[in-house]
Amino acid sequence: MTVTGSVSASSLGMVLPHEHLFADTLREYRSTGLLDDENIASNALHGYREAGGGTIIDVTSNELGRRPEALRRLSELTGVHIVMGCGHYRDPYLDRKFFDEHRSIDIADRIIGEIGEGFGDTGVRPGVIGEIGADRSVISAAEERSLRAAGIAQRETGLAISLHAARSTVGRDMLEVLDSEGVPRDRVILGHLDTVRDSEFILEAARSGVMLEFDGFISTNEYETTRDIGSVVALIEAGYEHQILISHDAFLTSHYPEFGGPGLTRILEDIVPRLREAGVSSTQLDLILRTNPQRVLALT
């Protein structure tokens, strides 16, 4: 399900599974400014398309300032398929009062309604649930309620869930919450794994069948790039090539070329050649860039 309607998964081409064309991250990144410029987004999408890209998943969840109609305009203008996220982000962005006063099932009902009918009166329907997050190493009460709502919505609609589980092994607890809601592990993307420095945890998640997402490739820090390529290669060598996803996670103006950043073409122009050099085959690259994300987005 894209912002312009449903298409066959195989027509999506290459997919970037974790990006933000618009994002209100001012609460945490005050100096960098609000990402809300349709020209910047359109230039980035044109560049991505010219470099060989097909689809982006915009995992901008509710509290980050989703703009469904702008996403639809951009997709029509650039020819790039855009898949929109839904659901609730994480602390400190969550409205505590709202989560205190609503049951998970009620929050889920709103998400399910939007997946079926579209956002507000725009008719733009989400194609993924997320990103759904936990800010710290322990899931907060509001975050757990949001996560359960996402799980209920997953069971009802079949859409995959994209998780923000950064810097700690909180993803383990998040997966257990989703288990208790009956969500199959292969319908969950464990995001921001590049920030989780615990290879045992990552292998444990891999064995459980979850999708493994390394989405920090907007960083041009050479240490981080080398480390993340190494992590991807190690997981391929361990036999998990069918579960790996890679993306940039552009969410600041400074990530886009107008402000000196690499934009949405870095993976195609810089990371793919380096993965090849590291011994990753064309078949394996095809899985990571196309087949794996297409399978996650497909609704049977």
Binding site for Zn ion (CB under 5 A): 131, 164
State the nearest-atom distance from the C-beta of 191 to Zn ion, in Å. Answer: 6
State the nearest-atom distance from the C-beta of 131 to Zn ion, in Å. Answer: 5
Beta bridge partners of 82: 56
- Residue with the closest Cβ to Zn ion? 164
The closest of 236, 180, 178, 177 to 212, measured between CA atoms, is: 236
In angstroms, the CA 226 to CA 221 distance is 9
State the nearest-atom distance from the C-beta of 87 to Zn ion, in Å. Answer: 13
Cα four-point dihedral sign 142, 144, 148, 151 = positive
Q: Which is nearer to Zn ion, 66 or 164 (CB)?
A: 164
In angstroms, the CA 251 to CA 34 distance is 9
Element (H, E) at 44: helix 38-51
State the nearest-atom distance from the C-beta of 41 to Zn ion, in Å. Answer: 18
Q: Which is nearer to Zn ion, 131 or 241 (CB)?
A: 131
State the nearest-atom distance from the C-beta of 89 to Zn ion, in Å. Answer: 8
94-103, long-range: CB within 8 Å, 24+ apart, which pairs?
Answer: 94/63, 94/140, 94/142, 94/143, 94/146, 95/63, 96/142, 99/141, 99/142, 99/145, 99/146, 100/142, 102/145, 103/145
State the nearest-atom distance from the C-beta of 192 to Zn ion, in Å. Answer: 6
- The SS3 of residue 165 is strand
The amino acid occupying position 255 is H
Element (H, E) at 162: strand 161-165
Going by the DSSP 8-state scheme, the letter that residue 192 receives in this structure is -
Q: Which is nearer to Zn ion, 164 or 248 (CB)?
A: 164
State the nearest-atom distance from the C-beta of 215 to Zn ion, in Å. Answer: 8
CA distances to 10, 134, 193, 202 from 214, rounded to whole Å, are 22, 17, 5, 11
Q: Which is nearer to Zn ion, 131 or 194 (CB)?
A: 131
The closest of 133, 151, 125, 36 to 94, measured between CA atoms, is: 133
Q: Which is nearer to Zn ion, 164 or 187 (CB)?
A: 164
Q: Which is nearer to Zn ion, 253 or 284 (CB)?
A: 253
Q: Which is nearer to Zn ion, 61 or 284 (CB)?
A: 61
State the nearest-atom distance from the C-beta of 203 to Zn ion, in Å. Answer: 22
Cα four-point dihedral sign 239, 56, 174, 295 = negative
Of all residues in the chain, what percent are helix, strand and coil, respectively (each to 5)? 50, 15, 35
Q: Which is nearer to Zn ion, 131 or 143 (CB)?
A: 131
